[in-house]
Amino acid sequence: MQISCDYLIIGSGIAGLSCALEAAKHGQVVVATKRARDESNTKYAQGGIAAVLANDDTFGAHIADTLVAGAGLCHERVVELCVQGGPEAIAKLRGYGTRFDRTDAEADELDLHLEGGHTKRRIAHAGDATGREIERALVEAIAREPNIRVLEEHMAVDLITLAKYGGPEVCVGAYVLDIESRTVITILAHATILATGGAGKVYLYTTNPDVATGDGIAMAYRAGAEVGNMEFYQFHPTCLYHPDAKNFLISEALRGEGAILRLADGTPFMPKHHPLAELAPRDIVARAIDFEIKRTGDDCVYLDITHKPAAFVRERFPSIYNECLRYGIDITAQPIPIVPAAHYLCGGVSTDLEGRTTIPGLWAIGECAFTGLHGANRLGSNSLLEGVVFGHRTAEALKVVPKQASWPTVPDWDIGSAGTPDEAVVVTHNWDELRRLMWNYVGIVRSDKRLQRAARRIAMLQEEIAEYYWNYVLTRDLLELRNIATVAQLIVECASARHESRGLHYTIDYPNLDSQRARDIVIKRGVPARHLWR
């Protein structure tokens, strides 16, 4: 089956849906998304979205905070664009129907939070479940838009580039698996926009939901696009540690409100790691926790907010309070057991200031994109902001994309002689092995030896996956496994090329910052990781 549209947007988180709402003003949009339309990292965002809204705040201060966190690798023009676009992004989200918390019910003034790394209160939020509210409003807004068609349970498998069929290097759409009917359809588009989010599932422990398997990055890489800075994976310091909790985040906002990190015996440990203690940038906090867990041999450390009035905690953090209570932890009376977990990918598919990738016809926005905003470390609450700002910038740029009079001829997906898999255990085993080896060898603290070990094992797993891929019919699990293996390979290649410790990349073999290496690492299929001066 073949369908066509002006703009194919792959992914329905904040970036994809913000872009869709604006692009629908000048063309027909198809949004393909691999599960229910609201399932995304966006839905689970807690703390909020950063923007300069307070009287005592300035663009200069937000820019400076972002640059400090980014450890010398932020692209300053991108930082300026995002920070200056903050107030409009918030206004747009409110226009779509997002209800942010206000200082009081009568006032229009938003209630702003403080988070680690921010020198001012600038986090607009909806309780402690900001993403859920934003995603709700966006999903309702697209339902009112006749120019947008949403295909749920439709997973993009691969991009369609004409180069593959002897034509020019241009992307004209994607092959998409309809999960229910198990058929692969061809979607042709004048512009294809990747908005597929992050890749937390590449690690054993993550704050991300199951959809975060780096599909967009893997597809773009296979198609020949440039990918960059994959070594900078952000580990969130505080994920709930409980055998029954899969991936529940304990927001940074708790530390913003004074929560203290303690060892099992109650000793606070952050002051000895950084002068800002609990409010230090999150890479430093995550590394400090990792260090203390390894030093003490304990399974976790504790985040303690019991010194705050119980009513304040319940009112300020209702979702976190209730979720922890489900696991028998009353956070007003007991410290919360926590561990760090993979949270956010700063690298991704390289783009320009409008979201264009290095392949004509292909764009990337949101967490799957590498715009240069975050540098070597993302400042908390800047990613929702980036999703809206770049979603809108891309939609604006799409206006001038020519709408060709006829569609190119491309073959339908060839299922060849694929049979039904008889050993699903191969997929589950490889999933587990890959995520575990990434956690153990390519986690918060790295070394050359560990990276080499990881590279060897990933190559072996990829061989096995390829064999399975060509011999059996496609399933979501198999496609995701192939994609996380590609993302793992890209993280290891970039990490191996960075001979210094900077931002989120810390290696015991090169523990210091090297001022000569304040540059991005980019990588392309068939071309080894190389340093690119920006």
Residues tagged active-site: 282
Q: How far apart are CA 438 and CA 435, in angstroms?
A: 5
Q: For ligand SIN, which residue has the nearest CB?
A: 47
| Secondary structure in 3-state letters for 461-518 | HHHHHHHHHHHECCCHHHHHHHHHHHHHHHHHHHHHHCCCCECCECECCCCCCCHHHC
For residues 138 and 144, the answer to whether their CB atoms sit within 8 Å is: no
Look at residue 140 and give its three-state secondary structure.
helix
Nearest approach, Cβ of 388 to ligand FAD (angstroms)? 9
Nearer to ligand FAD, 44 or 302 (CB): 44
Q: How far apart are CA 385 and CA 61, in angstroms?
A: 16
Q: How far apart are CA 242 and CA 18, in angstroms?
A: 35
CA atoms within 13 Å, Cβ hemisphere of 185: 15
User: 11 contacts which partner out of ligand SIN, ligand FAD, none, CB within 5 to 8 A by kind?
Assistant: ligand FAD
Residue 110: closest CA among 97, 118, 95, 122: 122
Task: Name the β-bridge partners of 294.
Answer: none
User: 66 contacts which partner out of ligand FAD, ligand SIN, none, CB within 5 to 8 A by kind?
Assistant: none
Question: Residues 6 or more apart from 117 whose CB is under 8 A from it?
Answer: 65, 68, 69, 279, 280, 281, 282, 379, 380
For residues 250 and 338, the answer to whether their CB atoms sit within 8 Å is: yes
- What is the widest separation between alpha-carbon atoms in the chain? 71
What angle, 0 to 180 degrees and rounded to 10, lies between the N-to-C axes of helices 130-143 and 14-23? 30
Q: How many CB atoms lie within 10 A of CB 297?
A: 6
Nearest approach, Cβ of 339 to ligand FAD (angstroms)? 14
Nearer to ligand FAD, 38 or 500 (CB): 38
Which tokens go with 197? 């989010």
User: 259 contacts which partner out of ligand SIN, ligand FAD, none, CB within 5 to 8 A by kind?
Assistant: none
For residues 348 and 368, the answer to whether their CB atoms sit within 8 Å is: yes
Q: How far apart are CA 234 and CA 475, in angstroms?
A: 29
In one-letter notation, the amino acid at residue 48 is G
* Contact set with ligand FAD (CB under 6 A): 10-16, 32-35, 39-42, 44-49, 130-131, 155-156, 195-198, 207-208, 211-212, 215, 249, 344, 366-367, 381-384, 387
Which tokens go with 488? 């793992």
Q: How far apart are CA 138 and CA 12, in angstroms?
A: 9
Nearest approach, Cβ of 10 to ligand FAD (angstroms)? 5
Residue 288: closest CA among 257, 320, 263, 256: 263
Which tokens go with 297? 């041999």
Q: Which residues of 246-284 are buried (b: 16+ CB within 10 A; e: fewer)?
A: ebbbbbbbbbbbebbbbeeeeeebbeebeeebbbbbbbb
Residue 364: closest CA among 353, 376, 377, 379: 353
For residue 156, give Cα distances in angstroms to 34, 160, 467, 480: 7, 10, 20, 10
For residues 210 and 40, the answer to whether their CB atoms sit within 8 Å is: no
User: 33 contacts which partner out of ligand SIN, ligand FAD, none, CB within 5 to 8 A by kind?
Assistant: ligand FAD
User: 371 contacts which partner out of ligand SIN, ligand FAD, none, CB within 5 to 8 A by kind?
Assistant: none
Nearest approach, Cβ of 20 to ligand SIN (angstroms)? 23
